[in-house]
Structure 1
């Protein structure tokens, strides 16, 4: 090899080695990464065939507007519409607990009730129904709501196999809320809706409970189409006095309470056609009373005093004419036994020995004179046993009270007074009880009052004088027409008792006894005449609404037209309807009715008459029957409410509302 070729080869090797050395110090080039394409995830949509699957059919449902979601009806939650997600939810403990009763009973979804945003299971609904019933039971029977704190636990332990009992969660707070906001409010709303479309009368009475809280109770009397009769429903219980604000129960304040109670529920004042209350001046005074304000704002409204209150006042005034010893004697007997268990036990032996009923001695009321009637009956029933017992007590312990009672028991004239009261007081209590009936008895009011008044007049006045003139013209204080003392009728027992030797020996005391009884009868008749208007043609004409009179041809001759009655009731019937009402009234007595209809009570008779139609479907007696129902709801034929309330809790306004809702439920 020549030198030139060798030198070229050596140069190439040297250059190549230098390039290799430089390459080792350079940063190696980055490797190109392989780009992988992401897989697109397929979004699962809700499938209708899932609803048919056994594992989903009880609880799965679509979500409207979103096909990628599914909803659990039991848990009220939404989930991704993925079958694996849904199955995982179905295995949770909370879900399985809710689904178990459905699978056990194989219930259909149509048995679920929609509530709010979710659907409640039937077991929960049954538990809530039980809670409402339990709360209502406490309200109806005056059971303290504090008892509910222990009742739910008692039910769970007593009925361990009941799923409903284990679902009940009811304490005093919840029970009170149920009665206040559910039962009471619902019933009052229903009643308000009825009063908005029907005419009614208002009944009211005030009462002071044992905690010295004065309240005013309001009732509405109307014709209930659902029940087909006249009903009196509790409306409101208003606290009359408010400490620091209202300290006097004035007529203006009471009137505003009544009107506001109806207006706040949107009830038209034009629907009020009658008002009934007791006869106190603040309610029934001529110039400044609740009645005078009603007449001013509601023209032609019918106002009537409660007949039961009036009869009580008549009896009270008359009883004050008798010797005080009669009432003191009754009170002393009760007080002697009341606080001693030993005396009561000893007295039972005397009752058994005397062969009388083992009954307790009663206490006469301080304010209700008519309660004296039952006290008198009990004392006369126990008279033999009382005489033996107090003879023994007077001889042994020699107490002053025992001696006083012993002397009264041995006084024949004292016993005569009790015989007289046993005869006369039931005359008042019988009428009072009759007009407290839930039935419509207003049609009998005038006849019953006439019968009571004449019965008392015939006892001490000559019959010819009483029968020869209208009752309104009979003067009970006219001594010219009095019967001789010996001819007065004071009851059978008095007639027999007057013949005893002990009585005949003291003619002066017998005369005194007869004078006192005569004074009682005179006072009773004067009070009845003062409080009841025997010239009231409206009350007299109400007798035509009794079924037997409405169907009688003889009565039709006496009352051929209803116009004299209708003109007194402009709030009940408009003049343009007079002719239709009169035609139907005249047609009634000749219309063929079955015997079963004629035998019905007054309410049911007129309700049946209202439904009678001709072949064309026209009601034959609709207008006339509506007038009848309006007349019946105008007046109060039963006693206005007197409330006897328990001691309230500290927050009195809660107490008032509680009883408000409790009374609504009971009615």
Structure 2
């Protein structure tokens, strides 16, 4: 190989390699495509014409992918395994860190992907979140998930130190008789069931919302869809904002698969209510969406008493904030199981207090 690819005479080969690997790591860290990295290496010598290292960078898409799969991924796994196989107490070889595992399925086109994540604690590093493996499997039954998880753990760490299994609350994961959790406890009886608390909180808020007379999710979606594909309607709304002497703010859209999107959408609609109400009333019954007109028909300008929809927006802006804060805390990278009991207890107390009030 050296007869074809001779090293640079200036001895900067290691620095060039380090620059290329660092550039690829930066792209991975920020979720950028290999194509953007290909462009960056061509741009570097233009921005830094006096740098000999920048002139020698050559890291296209193929090379970037090879660096990720052949260098960065193995190095990340090696670091993770080294931490998990280092005793937390120097003179106690048996004081190895325990770890929890988490897995879930997601569809990428026709491919079903499964990440296998680890979470553990060390006195020096604190709480660590690592990705042990990322594989694809067309099967999503409990046997397939269990066999995949066990084969990867036995290859690297074993099953004795698993402290908990975390996944969504589907029966395939936590069913009583034939689930991934049941199969794991047959191998290690100490594994704790770590249900997805975010699922529970989200479902609780949604179930309670379904009991209201007004479907607020549908209302938010109707309002946003009305403006989403029409620049003319947005301009008319801006004029209404100016007329009511308020600063224009774009309305947020609720995304059902994103649990933290409903409260900001409701809050923004409530804050913009005078302008939004005036706009839809100005359309009249013929041009206004019927679902909105039925709720806005009794909202006449100048009334001192808020209409029913405005009252619901005010109520939900206050109530959903409790769930929003709780889910936001649960989804944090640093939240531990030790904090969940206090978090859920406080949430229950807040809801009970509001109910009594």
| TM-score w.r.t. length of structure 1 | 0.47
Counterpart of 1:268 (choices 158, 161, 170) is 158
Q: Report the counterpart of residue 303 of structure 2 in structure 1.
A: none
Q: Could you tell me how far apart the structure 2 residues matched to 1:335 and 1:307 are?
A: 31
**Are residue 239 (structure 1) and residue 136 (structure 2) matched?**
yes
Partner SS for 1:269: coil
The equivalent position to 2:145 in structure 1, one of 254, 275, 281, is 254
Structure 1 contact 315–370 (Cα < 8 Å) conserved: no
CA distance in 2 between counterparts of 1:365 and 1:152 reads 37
Residue 297 of structure 1: how far off its partner (Å)? 0.6
Which residue matches 2:340? Answer: 445
Residues 116 and 132 in structure 2, CA contact (< 8 A), matched pair in contact too: yes
- Could you report, residue by residue, the CA deviation over 1:22-74 in whole angstroms, capped at 9, with x for unpaired residues? xxxxxxxxxxxxxxxxxxxxxxxxxxxxxxxxxxxxxxxxxxxxxxxxxxxxx
Structure 2 CA distance for partners of 1:375 and 1:173, relative to 1, 3 Å: same
Match of 1:136 in 2: 25
In structure 1, the residue matched to 2:244 is 354
Partner Cα distance (1:175, 1:367) in 2? 32
Task: Indicate the residue corresponding to 2:83 in structure 1.
Answer: 194
Q: Is 1:431 the counterpart of 2:326 in the alignment? A: yes
Unaligned runs of 5+ in 1: 1-75, 78-93, 102-120, 242-247, 461-487, 490-667
Q: Does 1:211 align with 2:109?
A: yes
Q: 2: CA distance between counterparts of 1:170 and 1:459?
A: 59
- Residue number among 242, 255, 258 corresponding to 1:365 in the alignment: 255
Q: For residues 110 and 223 of structure 2, what CA distance do their matches in structure 1 show?
A: 29
How many residues align? The count is 337
By how many angstroms is 1:162 displaced? 1.6
Is the Cα–Cα contact under 8 Å of residues 204 and 216 in structure 1 kept in the other structure? no
Q: Distance in 1 between matches of 2:168 and 2:311?
A: 34
1:314-393 alignment runs, 5 A limit? 314-368=204-258, 371-393=261-283
Aligned mates of 1:256, 1:184 — CA distance in 2: 23
Contact (CA 8 Å) 2:97, 2:122: kept in 1 or not?
A: no
Q: Does 1:220 align with 2:118?
A: yes
- Residue 202 of structure 1 aligns to a residue whose secondary structure is strand
Cα gap change, 1:357/1:216 in structure 2, threshold over 3 Å: closer, same or farther? Answer: farther
Question: What is the CA–CA distance in structure 1 between the aligned matches of 2:64 and 2:259, rounded to whole Å?
Answer: 40
**Aligned with 1:408 (options 291, 295, 318):** 295
RMSD: 2.5
What does 1:29-108 align with in structure 2 at a 5 Å threshold?
Answer: 98=9, 101=10
Change (3 A) 1:189 1:321: same
- Pick closer, same or farther for the CA change 1:448–1:384 going to 2, 3 Å: same
Larger RCO, structures 1/2 (Cα 8 Å, 6+ apart): 1
Deviations 1:275-321 (A, max 9, x none): 22222111111111011011111122222212222111211222221
Residue by residue over 1:432-471, the C-alpha shift from the partner in whole angstroms, topping out at 9 and shown as x without a partner, is 22223333553333233223223323444xxxxxxxxxxx
**In the TM superposition, what is the alpha-carbon distance from 1:346 to its structure 2 partner?**
2.3
Q: Does the 8 A contact of 1:387 with 1:406 survive in 2?
A: no
- How big is each residue's C-alpha offset from its partner over 1:322-378, in whole Å with a ceiling of 9 and x where there is no partner? 235433221111110000112112212222332334221122223456532111101
Note the alpha carbon deviations across 1:97-128, whole angstroms, 9 max, x for none.
82xx5xxxxxxxxxxxxxxxxxxx2x111111
Change (3 A) 1:259 1:340: same
| Cα pair 1:376 1:418 within 8 Å, conserved | yes
Cα separation, partners in 2 of 1:348 and 1:212, compared to 1, 3 Å: farther
Per-residue deviation, 1:210: 5.2
Q: Following the alignment from structure 2 to structure 1, what is the Cα–Cα distance between the partners of residues 340 and 223?
A: 38
Contact kept? 1:221, 1:231, Cα under 8 Å: yes
Aligned to 1:399: 287
- Return the alpha-carbon distance in structure 2 between the equivalents of residues 357 and 321 of structure 1: 34
Q: Extract unaligned runs of 5+ from structure 2.
A: 87-95, 300-306
**1:153, CA displacement in angstroms?**
2.9
Q: Distance in 1 between matches of 2:239 and 2:190?
A: 64
Q: Matches of 2:154 and 2:189 in 1, distance apart?
A: 18
Q: Are the structure 2 counterparts of residues 151 and 452 from structure 1 closer, same or farther at C-alpha, using a change threshold of 3 Å?
A: closer
Which residue does the alignment assign to 1:182? Answer: 71
Residues 576-655 of structure 1 mapped to structure 2, 5 A cutoff: none
* Alpha-carbon separation, structure 2, partners of 1:157 and 1:374: 43
The answer to whether the 8 A contact 2:101-2:162 is kept is no
Conserved 8 A contact 1:203-1:218: yes
